[in-house]
Amino acid sequence: MIVVTGAAGFIPSVLVAKLNSEGYKNIVVVDDFSRADKDANLADKAIMKRVDRNEFHAWLRDNHLLVEFVFHLGARTDTTEFDIELLNRLNLDYSKEVWSICVEFGLPLVYASSAATYGLGEFGYEDRHDIVNDLKPLNPYGDSKNDFDKWALSQERKPYFWIGIKFFNVYGPNEYHKGRMASVVFHTFNQVKSTGQMKLFRSHRPDFEDGQQLRDFIYVKDAVNVLYWFMLHRKKENSGLYNLGTGSARSFMDLAKATFNAMSLEPAISFIDTPADIRDKYQYFTEANMNKLESIGYSIPFTSLEDGVTEYVQEYLMKGANA
């Protein structure tokens, strides 16, 4: 059995679709399953069993002999969440227990970290272990992810194979439920449908023009290809933290224009102030250094921004489809 936590969410549900497409039907999905707006993400998937997240630790202990691989991708992912107790419970303590069970029973583990751990990028965007203790995330979400990375690296006992994935800006199908946290592609598509135009965040720094804030955007299908590759190439010596982006930063203006183009419309883009509650915690630049992943043999090319946005818009958003 393959376990996927957070399975009703964005990236995990696309991973389940990828596993199904590769012939895996013995999948155990873990989530709280309480939000009806996420039901469609798993509606047509081949699944062996659903396990409530509050029962998962006990279930894993009882069924560890049947488990081949654990993808722990469930988390509180809202970067505007300031309930530190909640983040520590769901992102830190919960993950520590998953890790400990995987150590105890010899289960391979891939877990979700985040590019939010890099903060303003004072130490660059290299997935080196020696900088983790020095990183300065900009929000409690980033802190919770970095705190777990620090804890994992400090453990004497580790799963025989473990990977912490630092996801950069992922976009694509199955993010319909994410609200404010959904990608700019999703928001552009819906704003254009309702108003004919898109409003991007204005730059509040003199070194960046409006719309020229830069992020490393990666199509969700590329992201799950990497996750799947790690399951097939589980070498103990390759365990560690890995960036997951494309290695090329692009602007929000590029992303918005690509969305208009995919909709066969002329771009109509204006700017609004970045909300005050996130303005001083806003990353103006991220770009994943992908040398580490490439160095262990990953060679599948990443989808270009324009091609990824076109497929997402035309094959999913326009059709109301899920991956």
Q: Which two tokens mark 141?
A: 């979400």
Collect contacts of 191-199 with beta carbons under 8 A, ≥24 apart.
Answer: 192/259, 192/260, 192/263, 192/265, 192/268, 196/268, 197/268, 197/269, 197/270, 198/256, 198/259, 198/260, 198/267, 198/268, 198/269, 198/270, 199/269, 199/270, 199/271, 199/272
Sequence-distant (6+) residues with CB within 8 A of 307 are none
Q: Which two tokens mark 216?
A: 């490393």
Instruction: Give me the active site residues, please.
Output: 141, 178
**Which of 205, 216, 183, 210 is closest to 285 using CA atoms?**
216
